[in-house]
A = this chain, B = another copy of it.
């Protein structure tokens, strides 16, 4: 297994209609959320039967990313055990445009809360947050069979074709070092 593969796999079930009133509340995560986010990320990996670092390790790594400043985390659906979903955004200076580029590195909603628009709310807020921070583009890595995720992204204006409609498919290539 490629160590980096998990990072590029974004699974999300976007099935049913939104059955509650009002839009899910999305907020920026802070240091106080790290422990819960470590568990979320761990569950994310375990759900797809990939070896995952321990929750505390993931919490520490995410804390390091937040501290570095190139990373923001959005969370949704706060429950007694913590958020029900998260989106991890990575920013960096762009070469082909004047501003930043934003990479939606992770998107996860716990299985019991899917089909309620939490993923969509996270991505919509991610778009807004990226614009506010000065990003000109957003990119995501998605596995071909993740049709629910792909439909969600396509419905929000993303394409996997270079130059847009009718262009060639864009692949991610990767390897461990």
| Chain A interface (Cβ < 8 Å from any Cβ of B) | 1-9, 41, 45, 50, 53, 58, 61-62, 64-65, 68, 70, 88, 90, 92-98, 101-102, 105-106, 127, 130-131, 135-146, 150, 153-154, 156-160, 162-164, 167-177
Contacts and interface: CB of A to CB of B under 8 A. Distances in A.
Contacts of A144: 168-171
Please give the count of copies of this chain that the complex contains: 2
Query: Which 10 A-B residue pairs are closest in the complex by CB-CB distance?
Result: A4-B137, A170-B172, A139-B174, A144-B169, A160-B171, A158-B173, A143-B168, A140-B173, A158-B175, A157-B175
A68 B88 CA distance: 22
Given A3-B137, A169-B171, A172-B172, A127 B177 contact: yes
